[in-house]
C-alpha cells in the first residue's frame, strides 16, 4: 500500500534537509511494509527551495516536486498536493516539523487496523507558541464553533491522515476559496484522534504574520457560517427598539416638562453611532458578496508549472495547469 506525505514549501531551504532526514529514517524504520511518496509543493519560493527539492527528486524516486506557477498561498498549495497525491492514505504535514512525524505510525495503525478514515493530530500542548498566538487560536475556535454549522476540532491543524476516499471527496469539491481546516471537518467520515506536544521550528521562520492569520480567520468564519449576515437583523431590531423607546421618553418628558432644547453632542453621537453600525453591516455584506464574485469566476485554485520526479513507468510527469480534481493536468 502507498502512503503519500504531502508538504507545502515556501522559502523553506533551511528546513528541507532536516525534514527529509527525520521522515525517511522514521518511516523506513517503523513502517517497512508500506511504500511512500513525498509530494512536495513549491508555492512560488524565492530562495533555493525549488532547486533543493528538485535535487532530492532526482536522487530519490519517492520524491515528487510540484512547482506552482506563482505563490498561491498555503491553502491552494495543500489543495495541489492532495490533487497530485496517489496514495491509499494521504498525510499532510508542514516542513517546519512543529508537528512531530513520530506519531505517523500510530495514525497509520488506526487507519489500517481499526478502519478509521480520518486520524486527526491534536495539539495537547502549545507552550512552544507565543501567548498571543495561543489566545487568538483559542478565541477563533470558540467563536467559529459557536456560529458554524460544522465545528472544527480545537487545536487541530492540517496534520492528519486521510484515506483515499476522503481525499477523493475533498478533491471533488468545486469551491475555489478554500479553508482547508473547515473542509476537513465538513466531509465527515469515521474519525480518531492522536495527541501530541507541539515543538519548536527546526529551522527558518514562520511565514504567517498577524495580518495573514486575521484574514485566514475571516476566511474560515465566512466559509462555513452565514451568522455574520444574520446577526444584523437582530442588531437592527435592537436599535429600532431602543429608538422607539427613546422617542416615547421624549414625548412623555415634553408633555410633562415642556419642550427641551435638543443637544448637539447627543445628536452627533447618535448619527456617528448609526453611521458606524451601517458601515460595519455593509462591510460584512461586501465580504460575502466578494466571495460570491470570486467563486463565479471559476478560476482554478492553483496553476502547476511543472512536476518533477518519476511517475509510473519511470517517466517524468509534467503539468501546466491545475484545479480541484486535477483539471488541466497532462
Average pLDDT over residues 1-24: 88
The conformational region for residue 221 under phi > 0 = left, psi -120 to 50 = alpha, else beta, is alpha
Confidence of residue 90 (pLDDT cuts 50, 70, 90): very high
Q: What is the pLDDT of residue 269?
A: 65
**Got the DSSP string for 177-218?**
S--HHHHHHHT---EEEEEEEPPPPSSS--S--HHHHHHHHH
d(CA 184, CA 321): 24
Q: Evaluate if pTM is beyond 0.85.
A: no
Q: Give 149-187 as a DSSP string.
A: SSPPPTTEEEEEEEEHHHHHHHHH---SS--HHHHHHHT
Radius of gyration of the chain (CA): 25
Q: Please provide the average confidence, as pLDDT, over all residues in the chain.
A: 77
- Show Cβ contacts of residue 141 under 8 Å, excluding neighbours closer than 6 positions: 152, 154, 155
- For residue 317, the model assigns a pLDDT of 41
Q: How many CA atoms lie less than 13 Å away from 291 in the CB half-sphere?
A: 19
Cell of 177: 476559496
More confident call, 123 vs 225: 123
pLDDT value, residue 203: 57
Span 248-274, pLDDT tens digits? 776 777 667 666 556 655 666 677 677
Of 22-31, 50-59, 61-70, 290-299, least confident by mean pLDDT is 290-299
CB 95 within 8 A of CB 16: yes
User: H or E element: which one contains 45?
Assistant: none
| DSSP β-ladder status, 156-163 and 89-92 | antiparallel
Question: What is the pLDDT confidence band of residue 92, given thresholds at 50, 70 and 90?
Answer: very high
Residue for cell digits 477563533?
Answer: 140
Tens digits of per-residue pLDDT, 130-172? 666 667 677 777 776 677 677 777 778 788 899 998 999 988 8
Q: Tens digits of per-residue pLDDT, 180-236?
A: 887 888 888 888 888 887 766 555 555 555 666 666 666 666 666 667 777 777 777
CB 45 within 8 A of CB 9: yes
**Is pLDDT of 312 > 80?**
no
3-state secondary structure of 30: helix
> Alpha-carbon distance 250 to 56, whole Å?
78
Kindly list the structural domains of the chain, giving each domain's residue range(s) and its CATH number in brackets, ordered by start. 2-209+300-314 (3.90.550.10), 227-297 (no CATH)
In tens, the pLDDT along 226-252 reads: 677 777 777 777 777 777 777 677 677
Q: Are 185 and 152 in contact (CB under 8 A)?
A: yes
203 in Cβ contact with 15 (< 8 Å)? yes
Q: Give the Cα separation of 105 and 182 in Å (integer).
A: 25
Q: What integer pLDDT is reported at residue 161 of this predicted model?
A: 92
In the predicted model, is pLDDT for residue 326 greater than 50?
no
Look-up of cell digits 431602543: 242
Q: Which helix (H) or strand (E) holds 97?
A: none
Mean pLDDT for 293-300 is 74
CB 107 within 8 A of CB 161: yes
pLDDT > 50? residue 286: yes
49-83 confidence digits (pLDDT tens): 888 898 888 888 888 999 898 888 888 888 889 98
262 φ/ψ angles, rounded to the nearest 5 degrees: -65, 145
Residue 327: its pLDDT value, please?
40
Highest mean pLDDT among 7-21, 248-262, 304-318: 7-21
Res 315: pLDDT: 37
The gap between the terminal CA atoms of the chain, to the nearest Å, is 25
31-60 average pLDDT score: 88
**How many Cβ atoms from other residues are within 10 Å of residue 148's Cβ?**
19
Kindly give the pairing relationship between strand 304-308 and strand 2-9.
Answer: unpaired
Grid cell of 159 as nine digits: 496534520
pLDDT at 280 over 60: yes
Contact (CB, 8 A) for 242 and 270 = no
pLDDT at 324 over 50: no
Amino acid at each position: 500500500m502507498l502512503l503519500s506525505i504531502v508538504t507545502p514549501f515556501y522559502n523553506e531551504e533551511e528546513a528541507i534537509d532536516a525534514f527529509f532526514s527525520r521522515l525517511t529514517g522514521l518511516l523506513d524504520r517503523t513502517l517497512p511494509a508500506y511504500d511512500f511518496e513525498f509530494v512536495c509543493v513549491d508555492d512560488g519560493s524565492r530562495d533555493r527551495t525549488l532547486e533543493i527539492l528538485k535535487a532530492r527528486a532526482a536522487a530519490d524516486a519517492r520524491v515528487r516536486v510540484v512547482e506552482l506557477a506563482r505563490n498561491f498561498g498555503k491553502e491552494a498549495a495543500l489543495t495541489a498536493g492532495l490533487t497530485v497525491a496517489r496514495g491509499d492514505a494521504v498525510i499532510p504535514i508542514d516542513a517546519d516539523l512543529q508537528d512531530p512525524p513520530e506519531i505517523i505510525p500510530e495514525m497509520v495503525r488506526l487507519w489500517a487496523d481499526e478502519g478509521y478514515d480520518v486520524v486527526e493530530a491534536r495539539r495537547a500542548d502549545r507552550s512552544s507558541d507565543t501567548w498571543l498566538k495561543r489566545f487568538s487560536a483559542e478565541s477563533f475556535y470558540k467563536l467559529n464553533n459557536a456560529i458554524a454549522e460544522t465545528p472544527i476540532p480545537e487545536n487541530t491543524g492540517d496534520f492528519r491522515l486521510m484515506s483515499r476516499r476522503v481525499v477523493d471527496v475533498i478533491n471533488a469539491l468545486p469551491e475555489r476559496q478554500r479553508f482547508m481546516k473547515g473542509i476537513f471537518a465538513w466531509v465527515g467520515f469515521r474519525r480518531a484522534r492522536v495527541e501530541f506536544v507541539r515543538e519548536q521550528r527546526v529551522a527558518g521562520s514562520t511565514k504567517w504574520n498577524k495580518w495573514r492569520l486575521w484574514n485566514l480567520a475571516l476566511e474560515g468564519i465566512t466559509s462555513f457560517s452565514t451568522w455574520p449576515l444574520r446577526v444584523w437583523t437582530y442588531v437592527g431590531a435592537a436599535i429600532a427598539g431602543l429608538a422607539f423607546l427613546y422617542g416615547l421618553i421624549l414625548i412623555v418628558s415634553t408633555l410633562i416638562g415642556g419642550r427641551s432644547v435638543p443637544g448637539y453632542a447627543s445628536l452627533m453621537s447618535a448619527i456617528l453611532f448609526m453611521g458606524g453600525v451601517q458601515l460595519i453591516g455593509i462591510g460584512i455584506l461586501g465580504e460575502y458578496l466578494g466571495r460570491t464574485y470570486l467563486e463565479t469566476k471559476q478560476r482554478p485554485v492553483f496553476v502547476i508549472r511543472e512536476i518533477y520526479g518519476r511517475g509510473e513507468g519511470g517517466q517524468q510527469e509534467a503539468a501546466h495547469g491545475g484545479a480541484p480534481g486535477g483539471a488541466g493536468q497532462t
